Amino acid sequence: IKFNKGKISFIKLILSGLFLAFAVSAWAGILFFVIAIMMFYFAIPFIKNKKNFYIWAFPTLSISFLLFSLLFERSSAFFGGDAGLNALSFVIIFPTVYVFISEIIKKFSKEKYHTRNCIIFLGSLVISGFALISAGLNAGLPTFRYLNAVNPFLTSQDALTDSVSEHTTVQLTLSYSLLSVLIIFAVIGIWLIFTKKSTILKNDMRIFVLISSILAIYVSSAFVRLELFASFAIIMLGSIGLSILFKQIYEKSDK
């Protein structure tokens, strides 16, 4: 999605959907990356402007992923299977429809109104979604474990889940013992992402890193076993911080 290379991009998007379906069929935790990508969809209309490319690129990735997911028992069950669409299906369909229509809106409106029109459209979708839920729309929800990962405050509502050692709530001391000094470089990475000095990162890359990292840290707060996702966030942010620091040191040493 960074570059429009026509047929090559189309093939890459199809293969991305296939590999993502393979991953979900192997481990349910890969749904984290699916959600991160779908959240990134919402940011795209505000930070990128590639005529016609995103109209077909994002739907291609989403449709490819959903279709290939039907080939495997576990991934098919996540997205409805024989029982029809469920909540996870809408997690993919909703942002895909949003980015598709947003690009059409941008195509037929003046550039200075792009952001305003996309915000209005997003607001109308959110209001419509709440209206459907209030009207009693019944989309199959995931099991309690997955809901608890989305909402860590649900832990106290199920004593059985909370009694499992790998489901215990994460403490700050444990997080620091697992991630240690990398947290410092991650903070530096966040700071450098928001400065003009990080020229090696384009706006879309910065947004994707921030979305993935914030989501990872949030999800990891639910269970100890999900602390793995906090590691992803710290690795991404820490590596960005270190790379930019080394780049600046190298440039100064050359002068």
> pLDDT of 91-148, one tens digit each?
888 889 898 888 888 888 887 888 888 888 888 888 887 776 666 555 555 666 666 6
- What is the mean pLDDT of the segment spanning 201-212? 83
CA distance 199 to 75: 39
pLDDT value for 76:
80
Can you tell me the mean pLDDT for 70-90? 70
C-alpha distance across the termini of the chain, in Å: 37
pLDDT at res. 13: 93
Reply yes or no on whether the pLDDT at 226 is more than 80. Answer: no
For 213, counting Cβ atoms within 10 Å of its Cβ (0-12 exposed, 13-18 middle, 19+ buried), the class is buried
Does 233 score more than 60 pLDDT?
yes
Q: How many CB atoms lie within 10 A of CB 130?
A: 10
Is the pTM value of this prediction over 0.85? no
The alpha-carbon radius of gyration of the chain (Å, integer) is: 20
- Report the Cα 148 to chain-centroid distance in Å: 18
Query: What does the block give as tokens for 177?
Result: 């013992």
Query: What percent of the chain lies above the pLDDT cut of 70?
Result: 75
Do 241 and 194 touch, CB atoms closer than 8 A? Answer: no
- Report d(CA 145, CA 228) in Å as an integer: 16
> 12 by DSSP, 3-state: which?
helix
Query: Predicted confidence band at 84 (pLDDT cuts at 50, 70, 90)?
Result: very low
In this structure, the number of other CB atoms found within 10 A of the CB of residue 234 comes to 25
Q: Which residue has the higher pLDDT, 15 or 219?
A: 15
| Secondary structure tally for the chain: helices H, strands E | 12, 0
Q: Which of these ranges, 10-19, 107-116, 232-241, 243-252, has the smallest mean pLDDT?
A: 243-252
Of the spans 32-36, 226-230, 241-245, which averages the highest pLDDT? 32-36
